[in-house]
Amino acid sequence: MKPVNMKKSSIFTLFLFLSLLLNSLSAKSVEEPLAPALYVFGDSLTDSGNNNGLPTQAKANYTPYGIDFVGGVTGRFTNGNTFTDIIALLLGLPFAPPYLGLSEAERSKIITGLNYASGSAGILPETGSSLGKNIPLGKQIKYFKRTVEKDLPQNFKEPQDLFKHLCESIFIVSIGGNDYLNNYLQPDYYNSSKHFTPERFARFLVHRLSHHLKTLYKLGARKIVVFDIGPIGCSPSITNAVDFNKACVEEVNQLVLEYNRLLPLLVKKLKLLPGSNFVQGLTFASGYDAHQNPSKYGFKYTNIPCCVVSNHGTTACLPDQPPCQDRDQYLFWDAFHPTQAANALIAVGCFNQSTICTPMNIQQLCRFKEANTASNKILVV
């Protein structure tokens, strides 16, 4: 697949490319996907409907969410595709369905990947609990453990076939923003900011993330893309609470930068695990640049959400209110989540360019073959 040159391509060109891709995949199934499966772990940036059945305020199963998505309202926290949806399309795979949206019988038949992400979830189990229940990262991985031990073996005759499937699949982990937005920055509900300095909190989060990623590895994951935290201080939920005309709240951005500075060290360390290949997704730098230089990326509006939100501090769209018409010109869909246009920039930049993911993009990661096949086995967890 020929790379898309984002410097020369407009948002219109990008969406024309994605539209043609979507149409071709709908008209004819892809005979040779670039990877056998896509497994997604994260929060509302990638949730495809897991929160629909949970008792929580963090829901997106109503209009105008999904107004541009082929399936309509699904529980995705954006107007159309999440960035992992677009990556699935580029891989030649179907969208990874939400784990909690499937019956046990359905789960046992799916071998193209699953989505375990949950809105308001974080690395820490208590994160987002003030909004209701979610699936924290540790529990998401427990669900994946059940997938590996119970569901997937029903589709493979030999254990080595299952190992091969897992080793060649792509795993995406995008989480951490809520550990700040719905934990550290909410002292009325959480004590983390009282017990941790920003530096110590960042180290604590990375330490917990390391534990979870090692568990994924032990369960057979080998090609893992780990995303940093985006510039949450530039989201309307933060900027409009301070000053509607303020570009970004840099004090908040500095908090997540403490975490982002430690993440490359963790990825470098994890790459020493035999047979593994960890890739880091750099969303902060690209997201910040898009906010500061919107016309460079085809955007016009960066400080206001596309949909109608409450003026009482909530990030979510008000139900059944018509959103903006020119959605591709907005960076933010609601007061926190990006539009499909912004998600496309992340997905394409990570898939076949060098602008988002390092030291290799996902297309290169798919081609990566580890010579040490002895390491390609599921370990006891």
Give the pLDDT score at 283. 96
Distance, in Å, from the CA atom of 356 to the CA atom of 319, rounded to the nearest integer, reads 33
List, in sequence order, every residue forming a beta bridge with 343; answer none if it has no partner.
Answer: none
CA distance 68 to 341: 11
Residues contacting residue 233 through CB under 8 Å, at least 6 positions apart: 239, 248, 249, 250, 251, 252, 253, 254, 255, 256
Per-residue pLDDT band at 15 (split at 50, 70, 90): low
CB 247 within 8 A of CB 282: no
* Residue 216 near residue 141, CB atoms below 8 Å: yes
Residue 310: per-residue pLDDT: 85
pLDDT of the residue at 377:
59
Residue 305 and residue 236 in contact, taking contact as beta carbons nearer than 8 Å:
yes
Answer yes or no: is pLDDT of 378 > 80.
Answer: no
Q: What would the mean pLDDT of 158-174 be, rounded to a whole number?
A: 97
Q: What CATH class is the domain 32-233+263-284+352-367?
A: alpha beta
Cα of first residue to Cα of last residue in the chain, in angstroms, is: 38
- Among 225, 232, 252, 258, which residue's Cα sits nearest to residue 349? 225
Give the single-character DSSP code of 371: S
Distance CA 236, CA 254 (A): 17
Q: How far is CA 370 from CA 5, 133, 210, 223, 231, in A?
A: 29, 39, 22, 10, 34
Closest CA to 84 of 367, 338, 360: 338
Write down the residue that tokens 């898939």 correspond to.
351
pLDDT digits (tens, 9 = 90+) for 179-209: 999 999 999 999 999 999 999 999 999 999 9
For the chain, the average pLDDT equals 90
- The residue ranges of every structural domain in the chain are 32-233+263-284+352-367
Mean pLDDT lowest among 7-11, 55-59, 191-195, 305-309: 7-11
Give the Cα-Cα-Cα angle 176, 178, 182 (nearest 5 degrees).
150
**3-state per-residue secondary structure call for 264-292:** HHHHHHHCCCCCCEEEEECHHHHHHHHHH
C-alpha span between 271 and 72 (Å, rounded): 39
| Confidence check: pLDDT of 7 > 80 | no
Task: Name the pLDDT band for 83 (thresholds 50, 70, 90).
Answer: very high
The pLDDT assigned to 247 comes to 84
Query: Structure tokens of 139?
Result: 């529990």
Give me the active site residues, please: 44, 334, 337
DSSP tag of 18: H
Separation CA 150–CA 138 (nearest Å): 18
Q: How far is CA 358 from the centre of its chain?
A: 16
Mean pLDDT of 308-315: 77
Taking residues 110-126, what's their average pLDDT?
Answer: 98
What does the pLDDT read at residue 10?
47
pLDDT at 371 > cutoff 80:
no
Whether the model pTM is above 0.85: yes
Q: What is the pLDDT of residue 242?
A: 61
User: What local confidence, expressed as pLDDT, does residue 312 receive?
Assistant: 58
AA letter at 275: G
Give helix then strand counts, H and E, for the chain: 13, 5
Burial of 202 from C-beta contacts in 10 A (0-12 / 13-18 / 19+):
buried
Buried b (16+ CB within 10 A) or exposed e, 230-244: bbbbbbbbbbbeeee
d(CA 158, CA 226): 30
Per-residue pLDDT, 336: 96
- Residue 133 CA from chain centroid, whole number: 19
Task: Write out pLDDT tens, residues 249-296.
Answer: 999 999 999 999 999 999 999 999 999 999 999 999 999 999 999 999
pLDDT at 59 over 80: yes
Tens of pLDDT, residues 224-262: 999 999 999 999 999 886 655 668 999 999 999 999 999
